Structure 1
């Protein structure tokens, strides 16, 4: 069974005071950089420094298939998962464009796609199986398989260079898994958790909700975070949860994408509550339920662009803001060094 790594809270009163003083002493009116100021303070607390540096940022896109697609809960066939992985590898997806634009390394992870890719230069093969089982009839994974996927994710995060990792995903059917996880982990009404996913019409959303409701009754005895993740999750979701834990254990900053990534975080944060101290929430997606997820976590997203793509696209778009927060803390002059009077002092 997976050993949950020790993740200390980032709270440090003395360092927080030093960071506040450093931010307030920059050549600007106090508070005038708004959200960037609290973000800079968070980065400093994570890195335990008043001069934090972001090194070699990367985005991991975890891909996996879901047996519950047998229930027609997506407008797309399961084969789109492996086809989109090929698109990532060819550089043709939105995430490829945004990551390249912002100088961010992009890694595609086969966590559990129902396809054989063979050895590929740009693909990280961490395949845990050829998709999960249909959770309408049985748990998506055994608890043991879920724990192994989490361990593989933690090991992968530990092996990544740099100190910032963005998380993205690809998997037809995974908004259905995420909605089930959200309901079970937050207790919010199921109808608030189920949305259009990749574009389901209203009657399709109602069908998806009925499938999830039936599955929730079948797996009513799954109550620990690991059991819930095994019952309803996907290999890519379990691997992301483990990778987040592994990243935080090494004091890496975590950039969270949309609905499915946040569902993985819900499970991981139930195992290690201090995990959210290390998380920057890139955006609030247009998928129904994501805003409620963020509210449940007490999260303040950086962007609200109406995205519902996944792939880590929100992470890549938010990365310049994260870099700007660290950058002004390290590079901006102080009132003293610039010889500028600070009226507020």
Structure 2
């Protein structure tokens, strides 16, 4: 717990003077003011995070937290539990969605077993297993409070190590069958929203299974009564090890002044927990896309951020992060290579035109 407390204390506000300096440059680029919209906001915030007007060498990594969820026994997923193990292995084979898209933008992957109900003989999977999956939240707490803290601290430590290796742009991914159920429960617990509003069909449930999933989330909230004012209590009672680990990643990124990208619904739940633990973390987060899960838009409202894209994606894995990486890099390309009005002779020519008009 001490490591978590110290990490939260180390998080500092953005460099406001660098944000102002960035906006001065942005508004002097050869374009109408504000015409590059969100790219301009990203560039200014990147300057505030890093203290650099231009961040031209971005070394990218997507952290994928993998864990099983006991609530799967309630029939809330169309996929069998063993898919967690299979896909975790497949991340190391380069054949999943996130692998393909990460390769497209030269991003590396860090695959972490934080709670898969299986043992791996694979050196590409980092073993940080806290337990072999959580308990069924429909019957009681997912885990003990100390185990939720331990999972958060795993995420912080993973990010600390990645920063030491030179990574300065991070993404968040996950694998865990039934984790849209736990994420919906976390959102409901941290807000005043009802399960009927935020629960989605996940990996292709029928209408009957969907209605059952809503009832399971309601039961989990009734049975566990998570404390809305304590995100760790929420994670311990109705969350998952993957969400808790990713929560730690957001804390670690802010602690190290490194920008970090949300993928979709599950990593949004982790981001929301992190922001509730320390509101300054919000300034270090960039949401990639609006997940097709119905609760995703409410997750964004609770965090107070807007996603860059809406591609109707709901794969998870961190698959949205590479698209955000590309956009963030585009903002830095703009800052580095786009000319100013002076560079383009626009100001001088404009003044000459004005003088000539007055002379006439």
- How far 1:221 moved relative to its partner? 5.1
CA contact (8 A) 1:54 1:164 kept: no
The one of 254, 270, 277 aligned to 2:276? 270
The aligned counterpart of 2:180 is 175
Pairwise CA RMSD: 1.6
CA contact (8 A) 1:54 1:323 kept: no
The one of 217, 233, 237 aligned to 2:239? 233
The aligned counterpart of 2:154 is 152
- How far 1:130 moved relative to its partner? 0.6
The aligned counterpart of 1:87 is 90
- How far 1:294 moved relative to its partner? 0.8
The one of 155, 161, 168 aligned to 1:163? 168
The aligned counterpart of 2:144 is 142
CA contact (8 A) 2:15 2:51 kept: no
The aligned counterpart of 2:357 is none
Task: Please identify, of 328-337 and 100-109, the stretch whose mean Cα deviation from structure 2 is larger.
Answer: 328-337
Does residue 128 of structure 2 align to residue 126 of structure 1? yes
Does residue 109 of structure 2 align to residue 106 of structure 1? yes
- How far 1:333 moved relative to its partner? 1.9
Map 1:1-345; keep pairs closer than 5 Å: 1=1, 2-3=4-5, 4-6=7-9, 7-10=11-14, 12=16, 14-118=17-121, 120-160=122-162, 161-220=166-225, 222-223=227-228, 224-341=230-347
Task: Please identify, of 147-156 and 84-93, the stretch whose mean Cα deviation from structure 2 is larger.
Answer: 84-93
Separation (CA, whole Å) in 2 of partners of 1:255 and 1:48:
18
Separation (CA, whole Å) in 2 of partners of 1:9 and 1:202:
45
Separation (CA, whole Å) in 2 of partners of 1:26 and 1:73:
52
TM-score normalised per structure 1: 0.95
- How far 1:190 moved relative to its partner? 1.7
Separation (CA, whole Å) in 2 of partners of 1:188 and 1:23:
39
Ranges in structure 2 where 5+ consecutive residues have no aligned partner: 355-360
| Aligned partner of residue 63 in structure 2, secondary structure | strand
Separation (CA, whole Å) in 2 of partners of 1:91 and 1:265:
26
Ranges in structure 1 where 5+ consecutive residues have no aligned partner: none
1:34–1:112 Cα change, 3 Å: same
| Aligned partner of residue 262 in structure 1, secondary structure | helix
| Aligned partner of residue 157 in structure 1, secondary structure | helix
| Aligned partner of residue 77 in structure 1, secondary structure | coil
Q: Which has the larger radius of gyration?
A: 2
Query: What do the CA deviations read for 1:217-270 (whole angstroms, capped 9, x no partner)?
Result: 111153411111111111111110011101110000011110000001111111
